[in-house]
Structure 1
Amino acid sequence: MTARFTIEPLVVPEAPGAPGWADFEAANAVRNVCEAAAYGTDDLGYRADELLPLWTNTDFDPKHGLIARLDGTVVGRAVCDTLADPASSHAWLEVLVRPEARGLGIGAALSDAIEQLALDDGRTTYIVYAASPEAPGPRLDAPTGFGSVPLENPEVRFLLARGYRLEQLNRGSRLALPANPGALRRLEADALSHAAPDYSTLTWIGTTPEQYRSDLAHLHTRMSTDAPTAGLEEPEDVWTVERIDAEDASRASADLVPVTAAVVQAATGALVAFSTMFVPSEARRAITQDDTLVLREHRGHRLGTLVKLANLRAVEHAYPGHPSIITFNAEENRPMLDVNEAMGFAPIGYEGAWRRDA
């Protein structure tokens, strides 16, 4: 008997338990199952109620979703993220299908539908980040010269057949907690010898302090231009104080506590680097290391090490007992990978960053 599946819009519920919640929760389960299968760990999982606020902050982060049902059960999902600027041509796409439902054409149908949705919105440059588990056989090298993916992997063959080209490789890394205190002390002493007295660190938990909102908006904007993106040519994503406020408000309702560290330049009092982690309420779960950036003009002073150490110390002090921290970095970003490795991060897997121009 031929499997029957349907593709339909993902209805974003107003709150947990509201109309659409069951499908939203099922779509989130698809995400978690696929991430666990790709990386061999549940550390990347989130509860649906933690991610719901990210779907409702549409003024600054437009997001659209689709789901696939197989015999009535949600087995796949597709997501299209864009910038708020309608003139931007980029769309970030994700298509995931539960392992037991693959090989039935669901991934192709979801891809067709989400690409058409992006095209209808005027977006013509598609970026896909796809996990590629290790496998034997021939490799496809990233044009950056850093890293490769197994050429015979299903996701690699699928993307190549659809006209995508590999542009970059990202490394997923895990730091087991508690971190090695001796190694951290040695790293901190070295970093301070390069940074002090011109730079110092500060940390906060939750909402961004009033006096740093403008600086943090500038840092987030520069995150979109200063981080390596290879041939993806990802556009500038402008942040404002209003967007910082909206982000803080959505995160406050997400049950994921943001812990931020920043570097202050003594001469100006301005923030020149930052690093943020998101801490789940259950101590048994992993912490997520989100953005980390040192402004280009302030690099060479070990500020990346300094700000990441400050961030780590803050979460270990305020939220002890979590098993690990997960982070992702471009494989060619050796300065940040050097910091991570010195702190004790170890690779758990890789994802390809792919591009197609419609």
Structure 2
Amino acid sequence: MSVEVSVLDPAALTEEDVDRYHALVTSAAAVDRPENPPLTRAWTHSWLTTPDTADRTTLYWSARLGGSIAGVGKLVLPGHENGRSAEVDLRVGPEQRRRGVARALLAAMAPAAQEHDRVTLFSWIVADAPPAFLAERLGAEIVHTNHLQVLRLDGGGADRWRTPEPAGYRSVRWIGHVPDDLLELFATAKKAIQDAPLGGTATQIPVWTPERIRAAERDLAARGVERRVVVAVHEATGEIAGLTELQFHPERPRVGIQQDTSVRREHRGHGLGRFVKAEMLGWVTATRDLRPELVMTTTATQNAHMRRINEELGFELARRIQLAEIKTDALRAALG
């Protein structure tokens, strides 16, 4: 039985289509990511209809076996410094694996990537799982490894996160829009993440500017994502010395997704990374209408310092996630 692949138009999805794709992605997630909270139908709908922005275009393909949905592929085309790369995200039902579904999807996606001048393809995959085995067979290189750490919140009080402010610093926090008077300082502080270990990946960390921050805020607001930010302000200079960001998506409102945590080089050694993360956890657990159940964060395997901070705060290792990369023309050659 041959695999039939076609372009998927998110605008043409019916409610029945979403139901079928939801059944597929949840069955795949149960096998590949069993420790994650169950995916909601709203999550599937959001994943299938990611809106395009000035910094991101998304293309989709559907694969069928015998007329039934067997897999779905998503090709994300980032802009700016990553304008020559594309991210591949494949979901294949467990019962349809080892039947050529993923390869058929990749065979359709690789030419499209080349049409958009993308010379490198990358994908975040679960280590020691079928996607990793396929990546190895196709000749992809594992260029970076993250530890996924999770914190399960049991409803305990926010006092357990209480941490004294480091001498000479104070915390400031907000939801969504960066205050205008802090925007330039926040953009400068976010550049501290540039020295995070990334292995040999071709993928570049965004260089944040005030304009890009405002564009990202508009994108998050349009998707109903709540972003909370805690920063440590240096009293003597007024500059933002450290920061942490946490997102809550409407399709999984009880799950906090950790974004950047970084400290400017000249302010390291004062415990600011642990301080801002503890402040964030105390804040969200004390927010009655939020009631978070789980916080998820990924940290580079090489970043032992941040992994240790997470462990001290109660995070536990869930799994390793690897970044696989391959040149687009090399993938096409491997697929034959």
TM-score bracket, shorter-length normalisation: 0.7 to 0.9
Residue 30 of structure 2 corresponds to which residue in structure 1? 36
Q: 1:179 to 1:10 in 2, by over 3 A?
A: farther
The 2-side partners of 1:104 and 1:331 are apart by 33
The 2-side partners of 1:339 and 1:39 are apart by 24
Which runs of structure 2 are paired with 1:113-132 in the superposition (5 Å)? 113-132=108-127
The 2-side partners of 1:30 and 1:296 are apart by 45
Among 179, 199, 204, which residue is 2:174 paired with? 204
Which runs of structure 2 are paired with 1:175-186 in the superposition (5 Å)? 175-177=151-153, 178=155, 184-185=161-162
Q: 1:355 to 1:82 in 2, by over 3 A?
A: same
CA contact (8 A) 1:50 1:256 kept: no
Residue 147 of structure 1 corresponds to which residue in structure 2? none
Q: Deviations over 1:223-271 (max 9, x none)?
A: 3x22211011422423333332232223223333211111222233222
Among 6, 13, 19, which residue is 1:20 paired with? 13
Aligned residue-pair number? 324
> The residue matched to 1:286 in structure 2 has which SS?
strand
1:196 partner amino acid: A
Residue 137 of structure 2 corresponds to which residue in structure 1? 161
Runs (5+) with no aligned partner, structure 1: 14-18, 133-149
CA contact (8 A) 1:79 1:93 kept: yes
Residue 71 of structure 2 corresponds to which residue in structure 1? 76
CA contact (8 A) 1:131 1:351 kept: yes
Which runs of structure 2 are paired with 1:249-328 in the superposition (5 Å)? 249-280=218-249, 285-318=254-287, 319=289, 321-328=291-298
CA contact (8 A) 1:166 1:354 kept: yes
The 1-side partners of 2:78 and 2:266 are apart by 26
1:247 partner amino acid: A
> The residue matched to 1:203 in structure 2 has which SS?
strand
Residue 8 of structure 1 corresponds to which residue in structure 2? 6
Q: Deviations over 1:206-229 (max 9, x none)?
A: 322222333334444553x22211
Q: 1:356 to 1:55 in 2, by over 3 A?
A: same
The 2-side partners of 1:323 and 1:227 are apart by 28
CA contact (8 A) 1:53 1:250 kept: no
CA contact (8 A) 2:25 2:44 kept: no
2:133 partner amino acid: R
Q: 1:106 to 1:44 in 2, by over 3 A?
A: same
Q: Deviations over 1:93-114 (max 9, x none)?
A: 2222121221211101112222
Which runs of structure 2 are paired with 1:212-223 in the superposition (5 Å)? 212-223=182-193
Residue 60 of structure 2 corresponds to which residue in structure 1? 65
2:118 partner amino acid: R
Q: Give 1:30 shift.
A: 4.3
The 1-side partners of 2:292 and 2:75 are apart by 32
The 1-side partners of 2:261 and 2:49 are apart by 19
Q: In angstroms, what is the RMSD of aligned CA positions?
A: 2.9
Residue 305 of structure 2 corresponds to which residue in structure 1? 335
TM-score, normalising length: structure 1: 0.79
The 2-side partners of 1:116 and 1:316 are apart by 47
Judge which range, 122-131 or 296-305, deviates more.
Answer: 296-305
Residue 98 of structure 2 corresponds to which residue in structure 1? 103
Runs (5+) with no aligned partner, structure 2: 329-336
> The residue matched to 2:80 in structure 1 has which SS?
coil
Residue 174 of structure 1 corresponds to which residue in structure 2? 150
Q: Deviations over 1:85-131 (max 9, x none)?
A: 38843222222212122121110111222222222211112222101
2:266 partner amino acid: E
The 2-side partners of 1:21 and 1:69 are apart by 17
Which runs of structure 2 are paired with 1:230-249 in the superposition (5 Å)? 230-249=199-218
After TM superposition, the runs of 4+ consecutive aligned structure 1 residues lying more than 6 A away are: none
1:249 partner amino acid: R
Q: 1:36 to 1:336 in 2, by over 3 A?
A: farther
CA contact (8 A) 1:284 1:323 kept: no
CA contact (8 A) 1:259 1:314 kept: no
> The residue matched to 2:257 in structure 1 has which SS?
strand
CA contact (8 A) 1:67 1:74 kept: yes
The 2-side partners of 1:300 and 1:291 are apart by 18
CA contact (8 A) 2:230 2:245 kept: yes
The 1-side partners of 2:268 and 2:24 are apart by 40
Q: Give 1:326 shift.
A: 1.3
Q: Give 1:78 shift.
A: 1.8
1:330 partner amino acid: A
Q: 1:320 to 1:214 in 2, by over 3 A?
A: same
Residue 143 of structure 1 corresponds to which residue in structure 2? none
